[in-house]
Amino acid sequence: MAAVGRLSRVLLRSALAQNRRQLSAAASAHGEESARTWKLLSFLVALPAVGVCMLNCYLKEQSHSHEQPEFQPYSHLRIRSKRFPWGEGNKTLFHNGHVNALPDGYESH
């Protein structure tokens, strides 16, 4: 009786080991397919999409007007209720003299 029990355990272990090997081989094949799919998607979809976006940005920048917009002294814009804690206190932290106007107009005028 004990011999039958030992034999059944040995057969069960070998069957489980064989199942594990088959499952790991199947998982490995699936992983290789997935990796190949993502590699193809990266090279055939993502990189051309980045190139098209770069071309779009370049063409929009070429057609963009670089003229300074006319100053409009609207009362609700460029409100300075207190001075900024840097520099002279009138310019914002990321001030660009060509694009950003001060309360009394552009710096170049």
Distance, C-alpha 49 to centroid of its chain: 13
Is a pLDDT exceeding 80 seen at residue 105? yes
CB 80 within 8 A of CB 49: no
CB 68 within 8 A of CB 106: yes
Distance, in Å, from the CA atom of 6 to the CA atom of 27, rounded to the nearest integer, reads: 31
Distance, in Å, from the CA atom of 109 to the CA atom of 100, rounded to the nearest integer, reads: 13
What integer pLDDT is reported at residue 34 of this predicted model? 87
Structure tokens at 43: 């090279």
Is a pLDDT exceeding 90 seen at residue 11? no
CB 91 within 8 A of CB 84: yes
Model confidence, pTM:
0.43
CB 102 within 8 A of CB 91: yes
What integer pLDDT is reported at residue 109 of this predicted model? 52
pLDDT tier for residue 1 given thresholds of 50, 70 and 90: low
Distance, in Å, from the CA atom of 54 to the CA atom of 29, rounded to the nearest integer, reads: 37
The residues pairing with 17 across neighbouring beta strands, listed in sequence order, are: none
Q: For residue range 43-97, list pLDDT tens digits in order.
A: 999 999 999 999 999 999 898 877 887 888 888 888 888 888 988 888 889 988 8
